[in-house]
């Protein structure tokens, strides 16, 4: 189909996403292509991709290409909006505060930021003024225009106007390369682009959030800059939802709730390690007992392995070379030749589990062998990366390794998926995304082995009807992995459980079994975790439930509160009876008003208050008050105990696990 007006000019073929091919004069722009299709598309167009490269609508296309027109619904459109917001922010700052130097301003996961060099600190009032000016710039509807400058001339120009940081950035670009500058009205900035057609296309769904310090180029030896963060979205509704999520996240912050519920604390003397208080440890134990019961049902054997190993084990496994920067290492001794001998604190359990598998001769009849461990591990996380109990240095994995034959991989994977998804359902997570992380650049094993491992996981996922997204380069160094990403109550995602298919580690650590043919064979090793780390998963659950755990997980399941002192003895009796029934119960007989007790225990997220007074003591009844509710349910003591006992049972008590353990 020919739509070019001037057929004397060289013609190019533009292939659209539906396969339709149109011809145009060379130099046609994306906007002109959109206009030739429909006026409504041209009005909605924000940018284009040309052979997969994002470009401005106004940029000429000089040769045959595959072209897609991006509208506001396209995934990349949000990044464009955020990138443009950074430019609008920088223009607003320089208009309001002349003499401020601009540095860099990228789009980030939920918005954008820009780093500024300014002697005076920005204040909250400044952010209000800047945001107001940004809206005015958007309303001005100035076009974004692209210019190509000579590199050396660009350096000289930015130095001449006092933009020394910008000149330094350009100076790092190789000599001879052209420099692209984008203008919006009278303001301009160094930028690769692309940009929206004009400032009005950004819309008004943005908000400035905070000011933080940032060293120039992330180096503490460099000057400190001021970083203004903002968030930007396609629509006002999306912005409102994001701000509501932030508000909810602050209310649900596990560090805040951990203090209020007296679960744990952290302190500088043990950075990255958790001090679990009695109530927090009770929560931990309830979760561990539940997972242990699920593992017993699934045929796992629980083991325990050491913390410290000679470096030779980690060198053999590959961890010393490929993961060594993340390990804690201890110098044990120095020999006569000055050679140092090191011990390593284990960062994961897999090399140790191979050692257990290697003890004694294994037959194909012993497979699959499923070894599980609640293993204490340590990783040398940077101090700046630590975050409450969500990112720590000392943690416990609900780790397991399945040693099996290649033929057993499909059934073992299927059993794992069933176990994994069942646990998540029991713990209150039903929105789960599955992703397949593929080979990283730095890895052990041949491409042939990786091809086999990656295809094995693809086949297992497909066979079990699980839709998945592939993540190139995100696998472990010894094998690809399936990742389970959970969505919490306020829409955030958390990567938790994993399944890794590994042909490499059994080879490196010389694990073998005797096959039916009498010969030695390498087992396949499936690395799997359900929660990932207990610390992180508990932190995630605190925020997911906002501290209001299901009764079976709650550290304190009920608190018996007295209305008057005449009911003190009855309150103690009620608590004792409930305790014998397996419930975790506290008693509050303080000489305080009941409303104060309700407020305090509600803040501590106690799910059930058992209120007793003189009348209840006389009639051997109790009034049950649920967390967040105002009504009370009057029951006989026996009825209340039976009802709470039933409600407090874990989702799947197993044979051999006592009911009281739950």
Beta strands 469-471 and 481-487 are unpaired
Q: Is residue 147 part of a domain?
A: yes
Q: What is the CATH number of the domain that holds 51?
A: 3.10.20.30
Confidence of residue 653 (pLDDT cuts 50, 70, 90): low
Question: Within a domain: residue 326?
Answer: no
Q: What is the rounded distance in angstroms from the CA atom of residue 277 to the CA atom of residue 271? A: 17
- Total domains, the chain: 4
Kindly state whether residue 340 falls inside one of the protein's structural domains. Answer: no
pLDDT at 7: 57
Q: Which helix or strand (DSSP H or E) is residue 530 part of?
A: strand 524-533
524/578 same-domain check = no
Regarding whether 59 and 131 lie in a shared domain, the answer is no
In this structure, the strands spanning 224-232 and 206-215 are antiparallel
Instruction: Please give the pLDDT value at position 6.
Output: 55
Closest CA to 101 of 85, 115, 121: 115
In 3D space, the residue among 347, 345, 401, 399 whose CA is nearest the CA of residue 373 turns out to be 399
- pLDDT confidence of residue 660: 38
Give the Å distances, CA to CA, from 43 to 78, 88, 197, 384, 455: 17, 22, 10, 45, 44
Q: Distance of CA 118 to CAs 27, 121, 612, Å?
A: 43, 7, 63
Residues 404 and 500 in one domain: yes
Q: State the Cα angle at 338 between 333 and 340, rounded to 5°.
A: 40
Asked whether residue 205 falls in the same domain as residue 225, the answer is yes
Q: What is the CATH number of the domain that holds 184?
A: 3.30.980.10
Give the bridge partners for 24, in sequence order. Answer: 12
Question: For position 178, what pLDDT does the model report?
Answer: 85
Average pLDDT over residues 32-59: 93
Residue 661 lies in a domain: no
In the numeric block, which tokens belong to residue 612? Answer: 């007793």
Residue 413 and residue 495 in one domain: yes
Q: How far is residue 622's CA from residue 641's CA, in Å, rounded to a whole number? A: 10
Say whether both 490 and 569 belong to one domain: no
Looking at residue 622, its pLDDT comes to: 96
Tokens of 485: 């990403």
- Looking at the fold, whether 302 and 211 belong to one and the same domain comes out as no
Are both 32 and 172 inside the same structural domain?
A: no
CATH of residue 397's domain is 3.30.930.10
Question: Residues 141, 197: one domain?
Answer: yes
* Cα–Cα nearest to 640, from 558, 566, 572, 567: 558
Q: Rounded distance, CA 216 to CA 618, Å?
A: 73
Torsion angles phi and psi, residue 565, rounded to 5: -65, -20
Write the pLDDT tens digit of every residue in 500-538: 888 889 999 999 999 999 999 999 999 999 999 999 999
Q: Which two tokens stand for residue 577?
A: 């009876």
pLDDT at 106: 93
Q: Kindly state whether residue 659 falls inside one of the protein's structural domains.
A: no
Q: Which of 295, 298, 297 is nearest to 287 (CA)?
A: 295
For residue 558, what are the domain limits?
551-648
- Please state the pTM of the whole predicted model: 0.80
* Single residue among 71, 93, 121 that ends a domain in this structure: 71
Binding residues for Zn(2+): 350, 401, 527
- Across the range 260-266, mean pLDDT stands at 95
Question: To the nearest whole percent, how much of the chain has pLDDT over 90?
Answer: 79
287 vs 553: CA distance, rounded Å: 7
Task: Give helix then strand counts, H and E, for the chain.
Answer: 20, 35
- Residue 661, C-beta contacts closer than 8 angstroms, at least 6 positions apart: 289
Cross-strand pairs, 50: 53, 67
What are the residue numbers of the active site?
Answer: 350, 379, 397, 399, 401, 481, 527
Query: Of 71, 87, 105, at which residue does a domain stop?
Result: 71
Burial class (CB in 10 A: 0-12, 13-18, 19+), 75: exposed
Examine the fold and report which residue of 71, 93, 118 is the final residue of a domain before the chain moves on: 71
pLDDT band at 220 (very low <50, low <70, confident <90, very high): confident
Backbone angles phi, psi at 34, to 5 degrees: -60, -40
Does some domain include residue 429?
Answer: yes
Distance separating alpha carbons of residues 279 and 286, to the nearest angstrom: 11
Tokens of 327: 């390990």
Long-range CB contacts (within 8 A, 24+) of 619-626:
622/560, 622/574, 625/598
Q: Note the pLDDT tens digit of each residue in 593-645.
A: 999 999 999 999 999 999 999 999 999 999 999 998 888 999 999 999 999 99
Dist. CA 562–CA 484, nearest whole Å? 46
Whether residue 167 sits in one domain with residue 46: no
Q: Which residues contact 468 (CB under 8 A, 6 or more apart)?
A: 434, 435, 436, 461, 482
pLDDT digits (tens, 9 = 90+) for 75-110: 889 999 999 999 999 999 999 999 999 999 999 989
242 with 113, same domain: the answer is: yes
Tell me the average pLDDT across 195-199.
95
Residue 656: the pLDDT is 41
Is the residue at 628 inside a domain?
yes
Domain check: are 123 and 65 in the same one? Answer: no
Percent of the chain with pLDDT over 70: 97
Cα–Cα distance measured from residue 203 to residue 182, given in angstroms and rounded to the nearest whole number: 19
- What is the tens place of the pLDDT at every residue in 552-600? 999 999 999 999 999 999 999 999 999 999 999 999 999 999 999 999 9
| Cα separation of the two ends of the chain | 71
Q: Confirm whether 292 is domain-assigned.
A: yes
């Amino acid at each position: 189909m020919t739509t070019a007006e001037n057929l004397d000019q060289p013609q190019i073929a533009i292939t659209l996403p539906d396969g339709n091919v149109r011809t145009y004069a060379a130099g046609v722009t994306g906007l002109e292509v959109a206009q030739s299709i429909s006026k409504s598309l041209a009005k909605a167009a924000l940018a284009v991709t040309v052979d997969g490269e994002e470009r401005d609508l106004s940029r000429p296309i000089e040769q045959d290409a595959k072209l897609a027109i991006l509208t506001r619904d396209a995934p990349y459109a949000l990044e464009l909006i955020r990138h443009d917001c950074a430019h609008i922010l920088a223009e607003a700052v320089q208009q309001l505060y002349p003499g401020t130097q601009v540095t860099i301003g990228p789009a980030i996961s939920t918005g954008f930021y820009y780093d500024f060099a300014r002697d005076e600190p920005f204040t909250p009032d400044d952010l209000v003024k800047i945001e107001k000016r940004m809206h005015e710039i958007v309303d001005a509807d100035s076009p974004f225009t692209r210019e190509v400058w000579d590199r050396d001339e660009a350096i000289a120009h930015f130095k001449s106007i006092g933009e020394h940081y910008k000149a330094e950035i350009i100076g790092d670009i190789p000599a001879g390369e052209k420099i692209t500058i984008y203008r919006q009205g009278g303001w301009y900035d160094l930028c690769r682009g692309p940009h929206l057609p004009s400032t009005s296309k950004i819309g008004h769904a943005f908000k400035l959030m905070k000011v933080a310090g940032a060293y120039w180029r992330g180096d503490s030896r460099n000057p400190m800059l001021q970083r203004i963060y903002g968030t930007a979205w396609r629509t006002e509704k999306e912005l409102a939802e994001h701000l509501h999520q932030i508000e909810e996240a602050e209310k649900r912050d596990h560090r805040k709730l951990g203090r209020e519920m007296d679960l744990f604390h952290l302190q500088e003397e043990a950075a990255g390690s958790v001090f679990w208080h009695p109530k927090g440890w009770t929560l931990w134990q309830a979760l561990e007992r539940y997972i242990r019961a699920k593992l017993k049902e699934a045929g796992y054997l629980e083991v325990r392995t050491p913390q410290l190993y000679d470096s030779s084990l980690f060198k053999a496994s590959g961890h010393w070379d490929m993961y060594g920067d993340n390990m804690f290492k201890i110098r044990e001794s120095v020999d006569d030749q000055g050679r140092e001998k090191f011990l390593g604190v284990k960062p994961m359990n897999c090399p140790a589990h191979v050692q257990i598998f290697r003890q004694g001769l294994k037959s194909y009849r012993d497979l699959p062998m499923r070894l599980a461990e609640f293993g204490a591990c340590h990783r040398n996380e940077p101090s700046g990366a630590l975050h409450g109990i969500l990112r720590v240095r000392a943690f416990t994995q609900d780790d397991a390794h399945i040693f099996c034959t290649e033929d057993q991989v499909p059934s073992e994977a299927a059993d794992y998926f069933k176990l994994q998804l069942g646990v998540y359902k029991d713990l209150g997570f039903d929105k789960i995304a599955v992703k397949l992380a593929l080979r990283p650049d730095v890895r052990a094993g041949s491409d042939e082995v990786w091809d086999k491992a990656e295809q094995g996981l693809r086949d297992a996922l497909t066979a079990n009807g699980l839709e998945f997204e592939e993540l190139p380069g995100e696998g472990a160094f010894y094998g690809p992995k399936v990742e389970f990403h959970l969505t919490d109550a306020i829409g955030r995602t958390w990567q938790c459980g994993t399944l890794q298919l590994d042909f490499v580690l059994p080879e490196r650590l010389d694990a073998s079994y005797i096959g039916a043919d009498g010969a030695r064979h390498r087992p396949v090793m499936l690395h799997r975790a359900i929660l990932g780390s207990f610390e992180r998963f508990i932190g995630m659950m605190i925020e997911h439930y906002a501290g209001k755990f299901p009764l079976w997980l709650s550290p304190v399941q009920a608190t018996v509160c007295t209305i008057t002192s005449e009911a003190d003895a009855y309150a103690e009796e009620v608590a004792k009876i409930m305790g014998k029934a397996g419930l975790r119960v506290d008693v509050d007989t303080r000489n305080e008003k009941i409303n104060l007790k309700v407020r305090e225990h509600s803040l501590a997220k106690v799910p059930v208050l058992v209120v007793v007074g003189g009348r209840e003591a006389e009639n051997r009844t109790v009034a049950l008050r649920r967390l967040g509710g105002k009504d009370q349910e009057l029951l006989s003591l026996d009825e209340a105990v039976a009802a709470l006992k039933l409600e407090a049972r874990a989702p799947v008590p197993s044979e051999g696990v006592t009911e009281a353990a739950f």
